[in-house]
Amino acid sequence: MNSAVNKPVLLTVDDDPGVSRAVARDLRRRYGEGHRVVRASSGQEALEALRELKLRGEQVAAMLADYRMPEMNGIEFLEQAMDLFPRARRALLTAYADTDAAIQAINLVDVDHYLLKPWDPPEEKLYPVVDALIETWRGSGATAVEEIKIVGHRWSAPTYAARDFLARNAVPYRYYTIDEPEGRRLLEAAGADPTEIPVVITTDGQALLAPSDARIASAVGLTVDPATDFYDLIVVGGGPAGLGSAVYGASEGLRTVLVERQAAGGQAGTSSRIENYLGFPDGVSGAQLTDRARRQAVKFGAEMLTARDVVALEVQGSARVVRFGDGSTISAHAVILATGVDYRSLMAPGCDDLTGRGVFYGSANTEAPECVGRDVYIVGGANSAGQAAVFFSRHARSVTLVVRGESLHSSMSHYLIQQLEAIENVHVRTCTTVGEASGDEHLEKIRLDHVDGATELVETSHLFIFIGAQPQTDWLDGVVERDERGFIWTGPDLLVDGERPAGWQLDRDPFYLESSVPGVFVAGDVRAQSVKRVASAVGEGAMAVTLVHRYLEEQ
């Protein structure tokens, strides 16, 4: 924000143009260096100015309003202005005949002072009063808030989605609920009602009502539009494999663009702690690891497009074309598919309706403050579930892992099992599934079903799901060869009885990470038969770039 916006505001309201100019002139003369003077000719105009200031995160130190104004007098204006800036100090400008009314206003709307017109000389009759107003305001502890602001409801799924999107993209924000006074003030300033949440307010004062991820991304400065329409390499997916491809592609001179539908990091980016990744003996959070990788890719010149949904891959001669959901396209000599996998939906009744309102897929770290003193349940027995259990154990009263299998040893790393055994408030329920989730406005109870037929109804407000791994590759149907679950076949796995895949026209076998379409490579979890580990995904991303170079040398 520029220096003028950082200055606290002194607002004057008077319907007499001569008086309005005079008071603004005298205020600028004394306070212009440290404050911004804003003047309005009516109460309604002043309220509009205050709403704009509120949305932009500015501070109002003092308001001086004329008592006698048509349509809305000074007392009525100050009463409404208090709803927007309750800490701003207030003074009435009044003629001698209205002194009694001004004194009554001090009790009615907590007016701090009244000023008689004319106020000449200002050094005696104006400045001492304004000095006192500013000093009192400073003592109230009011500070400017320049972050992006989100106004929403505790149990609103769209509000959770917006907060999660910003958090995963490392965009700082401040969150207000519509149940707290400041949240209601911001909602009023935005001209919104509770049905239009979330309201996302940018640092320049834009108010976005129930926006999409793409709208949020564009408004907060994330890159959503490509710089050109043709690249050497398009990487689809921003998890560890995609980031590895972007880093190595850009660093080796390929004009590279990475396209991600939500946030860099993928599932790994939501991991609270990764402790078996090479080079980090003390562990590293998924967010930290992927943010470093993202910055590294950008340093080498890779473009990063966020909140863009890829819906098709097409072959047009030697070009490989990626089509977005809005119909636009970009093309490249080669493509690396690194779209990873998503958690499988829990099919228990009630889960779909309560998703984002107590039922969450992934660790949802933004929910950690809400878990303090609560009983949290986590479904899953792999490393991601174990890492989440360790993380939430620092906040929740208890954490219960619900595991379908007989033990964790077949699905979770040994070091993580040892950690969980040492944490007193973490419990493991094996041979158990979640049979149902219930609640009115939000999750309130889940039913646990044991393999022996026993059931138990437990109270909880938070259920985190980490089950299965399903690739989202339906958009590639008929383009590249996939297995029965949707994972993409590559390299030697494409050869059947020594025969190359149908339609393969090159006089060579597919490279190790190459799909059934020449020039389209696959890295990470979305590849059939891949090792589901962060380190292997990064390695495949780097290897895929090497194979891209070999492919380009043939062209």
Q: What is the DSSP string of 537-555?
A: HHHHHHHHHHHHHHHHHH-
Q: Same structural domain for residues 15 and 77?
A: yes
The residue among 220, 255, 278 that closes a domain is 220
Q: Residue 389 CA to chain centroid, in angstroms?
A: 22
Q: Same structural domain for residues 520 and 532?
A: yes
Q: Same structural domain for residues 94 and 203?
A: no
H or E element that contains 175? strand 173-177
For 347-376, give the DSSP string. Answer: -STTHHHHBTTTEEES--GGGGGGGTTSEE
Q: What is the mean pLDDT of the chain?
A: 91
CATH of the domain at 328: 3.50.50.60
Q: Same structural domain for residues 411 and 548?
A: no
Q: Same structural domain for residues 525 and 479?
A: yes
Q: Same structural domain for residues 434 and 317?
A: no
Q: Same structural domain for residues 204 and 253?
A: no
Q: Are 501 and 481 in contact (CB under 8 A)?
A: yes
Report the pLDDT value the prediction gives residue 108, as an integer from 0 to 100. 61
Say how many C-beta atoms besides its own lie within 10 A of residue 175's C-beta.
20
Report the pLDDT value the prediction gives residue 146, as an integer from 0 to 100. 62
pLDDT tens digits, 363-374:
787 888 889 999
Q: Same structural domain for residues 19 and 118?
A: yes
Report the pLDDT value the prediction gives residue 142, as an integer from 0 to 100. 59
Q: Residue 61 CA to chain centroid, in angstroms?
A: 31
Strand positions, DSSP E, 2-145: 9-13, 36-40, 60-66, 89-94, 113-116
Say how many C-beta atoms besides its own lie within 10 A of residue 333's C-beta.
19
User: Measured between alpha carbons, how far is 530 from 536 in angstroms, rounded to an integer?
Assistant: 8
- Say which residue the tokens 């003629």 belong to: 95
Question: What is the reported pTM?
Answer: 0.77
Q: Same structural domain for residues 532 and 396?
A: no
Q: Which of 410, 372, 402 is nearest to 385 (CA)?
A: 402
pLDDT tens digits, 306-336:
999 999 999 999 999 999 999 999 999 999 9
> Which DSSP state fits 387?
H
User: Measured between alpha carbons, how far is 497 from 507 in angstroms, rounded to an integer?
Assistant: 17
Q: Same structural domain for residues 403 and 333?
A: no
Give yes or no for residue 112 having a pLDDT over 60: yes
Give yes or no for residue 1 having a pLDDT over 50: no
Q: Sign of dihedral through CA atoms 105, 111, 117, 121?
A: positive
Q: Which pLDDT band holds residue 5 (cuts at 50, 70, 90)?
A: low
User: Measured between alpha carbons, how far is 305 from 225 in angstroms, rounded to an integer?
Assistant: 7
Give yes or no for residue 97 having a pLDDT over 70: no
3-class DSSP state of 93: strand
Report the pLDDT value the prediction gives residue 364, as an integer from 0 to 100. 80
H or E element that contains 3? helix 3-6
Q: Same structural domain for residues 380 and 332?
A: no
pLDDT tens digits, 446-484:
999 999 999 999 999 999 999 978 999 999 999 999 999
> Which DSSP state fits 273?
-
Report the pLDDT value the prediction gives residue 429, as an integer from 0 to 100. 96
Report the pLDDT value the prediction gives residue 329, as an integer from 0 to 100. 98
Give yes or no for residue 4 having a pLDDT over 70: no
User: Measured between alpha carbons, how far is 320 from 371 in angstroms, rounded to an integer?
Assistant: 46
Q: Are 114 and 99 in contact (CB under 8 A)?
A: yes
The residue among 162, 187, 220 that closes a domain is 220
The residue among 467, 502, 522 that closes a domain is 467
- Domains in the chain: how many in total? 4
Q: Is residue 4, in this structure, part of any structural domain at all?
A: no
Q: Which of 280, 103, 120, 308 is nearest to 213 (CA)?
A: 308
Report the pLDDT value the prediction gives residue 482, as an integer from 0 to 100. 97
Where in the sequence is the domain holding 306, given as residue range(s)?
A: 230-342+470-554
Q: Same structural domain for residues 335 and 322?
A: yes
Phi-psi region of 360 (alpha: psi -120 to 50; beta: other; left: phi over 0): beta
Q: Is residue 3, in this structure, part of any structural domain at all?
A: no
CATH of the domain at 193: 3.40.30.10
